[in-house]
């Protein structure tokens, strides 16, 4: 008959770890050694957290830069479209009223739109300023 291997020599199958070995009283680390190990583990965890934050900040900054670039491209294309619209409006009105009056009409309308946008933006800026001053208190 075959001899069965001892329990510690048996092959374990599955994912469960082997039960911990029992230490004798003499094998246990001292309180100082345990505290030192705890401090080292804390340092390692702090370093890992800092590395994670650095990586997250780097990825976020890259994504923010790409986002800002595409918003800038969209803004430039919108500006070109508005210029083309203004030129087309001047040409369309010029056939009936002449080029000088057509230009004055289109420029006047654009200035009224710009002034309206500035007033709205000023209101939002004042709201942000008020919120910041409340936060500082």
Task: Determine, yes or no, domain membership for 66.
Answer: yes
Domain that holds residue 127: 31-136
Task: Determine, yes or no, domain membership for 42.
Answer: yes
Q: Rounded to an integer, what distance in angstroms lies between the CA atom of residue 24 and that of residue 52? A: 39
Task: Determine, yes or no, domain membership for 104.
Answer: yes
Q: Is the pLDDT of residue 2 over 60?
A: no
Q: Report the predicted TM-score, pTM, of the whole model to 2 decimal places.
A: 0.49
Task: Determine, yes or no, domain membership for 18.
Answer: no
Q: What is the pLDDT of residues 104-130, one digit of tens each?
A: 999 999 999 999 999 999 988 888 888
Q: Rounded to an integer, what distance in angstroms lies between the CA atom of residue 91 and that of residue 96? A: 9
Say how many domains are in the chain: 1
Hey, what's the torsion of the CAs at 64, 65, 66, 70, to 10 degrees? 100
Q: What is the pLDDT of residues 3-21, one digit of tens each?
A: 555 555 555 555 666 676 6
Task: Determine, yes or no, domain membership for 63.
Answer: yes
């Amino acid at each position: 008959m075959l001899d069965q291997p001892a329990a510690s020599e048996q092959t374990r199958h599955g994912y469960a770890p082997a039960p911990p070995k029992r230490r004798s009283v003499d094998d246990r680390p001292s309180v100082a050694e345990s505290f030192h190990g705890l401090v080292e583990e804390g340092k390692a965890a702090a370093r890992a957290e800092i590395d994670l934050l650095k990586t997250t900040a780097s990825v976020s900054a890259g994504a923010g830069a790409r986002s800002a670039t595409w918003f800038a491209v969209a803004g430039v294309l919108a500006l070109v479209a508005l210029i083309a619209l203004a030129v087309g409006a001047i040409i369309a009105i010029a056939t009936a009223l002449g080029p000088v009056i057509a230009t004055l009409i289109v420029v006047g309308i654009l200035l009224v739109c710009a002034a309206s946008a500035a007033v709205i933006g000023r209101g939002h800026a004042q709201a942000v300023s008020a919120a910041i001053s409340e936060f500082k208190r």
